[in-house]
Amino acid sequence: MLYTRSSQLFAEAEKVIPGGVNSPVRAFRAVGGTPIFVKSAKGAYLYDEDGNRLIDYINSWGPMILGHAYEPVVQAVIEKAKLGTSFGMPTELETQIAALAVSMVPNIDKIRFVNSGTEACMSAVRLARGFTNKDKIIKFAGCYHGHSDSFLIQAGSGAITFGSPNSPGVTAGTAKDTLLAKYNDLENVAELIDANKNEIAAIIVEPVAGNMGCIPPNSGFLEGLRQLCTDNGILLIFDEVMTGFRLAAGGVQELFNINADIVCFGKVIGGGLPVGAFAARSEIMNYLAPLGPVYQAGTLSGNPLAMAAGLAMLKALDADRAIFQRLEEKTAYLAAGMEKVLKANNVVFTINRIGSMVSVHFDADPVVDFQTAAKGDNETFKKFFHGLLQEGIYIAPSAYETWFITDALSYEDLDFTIQAVDKVSKTF
Ligand SMILES: *Cc1c(COP(=O)(O)O)cnc(C)c1O
């Protein structure tokens, strides 16, 4: 496959956009080469500017759980656009999507919509601090909660891909209020709580980590966090920006039957438009302005196009709950197929999977936290990435990302992918 036009477009982009991209993970810095410029997408496929068709395993980093250009979402956006694209006034649509989200997710009474996952997590932490009247938070190394200052302390995703977990521009004053714990290590969390008695407002966690590859919680980890929070007057924030409406209709809270105090959403909830949200029981949400003292706002929050897309997406998922089982089966099939061919080709690897999230790590040891994720062989990953790209398969250009399986993928697509993995891994 040739990427001549993409390369030209990237050269043009670099002149006027830093690094040629509006979000660092889109650049191919970790794998080399130039990013692919997409022209359109439908179902499981991307069509790039050179006329190549690629099977897409990124899916806009998660939102397109039903495939690209999903008809009900597209129609909803078109119809709404004709009626005006933004008002800065309440619309009935906002109540409709809020009511549906609250009905699908356990343990939340109210939800507020914002424009990104970053905003959702940032606002959730402010709310937790306001509600508890405490300043510090605990986050886990390798977890990513967007790019706001408090979270760029050993963050996952692009922040580790580029080896700068602590970004310049984050002040020491801000950084000192973010305490860092090891994922899947309860003892470490308990020690931090002991050392900072009555100072911790919240623990924020990806309840299934997806930004250092896919790392499911060890048995008892989330239960243990819940207990520590309850015992110490700390709010537990589940960042379900990636897992919400993906691993189950009610996200990880439903999947593992654990109640968080505040839940953050993004990605799927917007149906491919820029949407985030955070939700909790009324007692906590009523602390937000205009009811309460914690300020949070947005000119385009609850934007009608975004809400129309999100509502159409949530309705589709709500009406067809079997989708989560279908996605699980497709992902298990893909993982088992890749495992078989990688083994046959004597590749050293670990595959992590839960529901429709899966990641391939080129290391023999279990991948359970940031340290073990970082051990993977990046040179092999580069060959894997570019090899698959030549076969017409698009995975994230970083070893620290999860693959997202969509309902639009057919078993033919999955078989084609497994054959490509076989072919590529013979060249390692
Ligand atoms: C993507 C992501 C975010 C950030 O969302 P943006 O919409 O990119 O700001 C936050 N948390 C998690 C778990 C994510 O995967």
pLDDT values of the chain reduced to their tens digit, one per residue, 428 residues: 789 999 999 999 999 999 999 999 899 999 999 999 999 999 999 999 999 999 999 999 999 999 999 999 999 999 999 999 999 999 999 999 999 999 999 999 999 999 999 999 999 999 999 999 999 999 999 999 999 998 987 766 666 555 444 788 888 888 889 999 999 999 999 999 999 999 999 999 999 999 999 999 999 999 999 999 999 999 999 999 999 999 999 999 999 999 999 999 999 999 999 999 999 999 999 999 999 999 999 999 999 999 999 999 999 999 999 999 999 999 999 999 999 999 999 999 999 999 999 999 999 999 999 999 999 999 999 999 999 999 999 999 999 899 999 999 999 999 999 999 999 999 99
The atom of ligand 1 lying closest to the CA of 116 is: 7
Active-site residue, from 57, 70, 144, 400? 144
pLDDT at position 158: 65
71-319: CATH topology: Aspartate Aminotransferase; domain 2 (3.40.640)
Q: Taking Cα atoms as reference points, which of 250, 259, 423 lies closest to residue 341?
A: 423
Cα(425) to centroid of ligand 1, in Å? Answer: 31
pLDDT at position 318: 98
In whole angstroms, give the CA distance from residue 260 to residue 226: 7
Q: Is 145 in the pocket of ligand 1 (CB under 6 A)?
A: yes
- Does 239 qualify as catalytic in the annotation? yes
Structure confidence by residue, pLDDT tens digits, 41-92: 999 999 999 999 999 999 999 999 999 999 999 999 999 999 999 999 999 9
Cα(226) to centroid of ligand 1, in Å? Answer: 22
Minimal-distance CA residue to ligand 1 atom 10: 145
pLDDT at position 152: 85
Q: Is 117 in the pocket of ligand 1 (CB under 6 A)?
A: yes
| CA distances in angstroms from 215 to 146, 206, 313, listed in the order given | 18, 9, 26
Q: Is 121 in the pocket of ligand 1 (CB under 6 A)?
A: yes
Residue whose token pair is 């899966």: 358
Structure confidence by residue, pLDDT tens digits, 160-219: 555 444 788 888 888 889 999 999 999 999 999 999 999 999 999 999 999 999 999 999
Q: What is the 3-state secondary structure (H, E, C) of the chain?
A: CCCHHHHHHHHHHHHHCHHHCCCHHHCCCCCCCCCCCEEEEEECEEEECCCCEEEECCCCCCCCCCCECCHHHHHHHHHHHCCCCCCCCCCHHHHHHHHHHHHHCCCCCEEEEECCHHHHHHHHHHHHHHHHCCCEEEEECCCCCCCCHHHCCCCCCHHHHCCCCCCCCCCHHHHCCEEEECCCCHHHHHHHHHHCCCCEEEEEECCCECCCCCECCCCCHHHHHHHHHHHHCCEEEEECCCCECCCECCHHHHHHCCCCCEEEECHHHHCCCCCEEEEECHHHHCCECCCCCECCCCCCCCCHHHHHHHHHHHHHHHHCCCHHHHHHHHHHHHHHHHHHHHHHCCCCCEEEEECCEEEEECCCCCCCCHHHHHCCCHHHHHHHHHHHHHCCEECCCCCCCCEECCCCCCHHHHHHHHHHHHHHHCCC
The atom of ligand 1 lying closest to the CA of 146 is: 4
Query: Which SS3 state, helix, strand or coil, does residue 114 take?
Result: strand
Active-site residue, from 261, 267, 330, 413? 267
Domain limits, CATH 3.40.640.10, in the chain: 71-319
pTM for the model: 0.97
Active-site residue, from 48, 56, 177, 239? 239
Q: Is 207 in the pocket of ligand 1 (CB under 6 A)?
A: no
pLDDT at position 164: 45
- Does 415 qualify as catalytic in the annotation? no
pLDDT at position 168: 84
Pairing of strands 350-354, 357-361: antiparallel
Class of domain 4-69+322-425: alpha beta
In whole angstroms, give the CA distance from residue 168 to residue 64: 33
pLDDT at position 172: 83
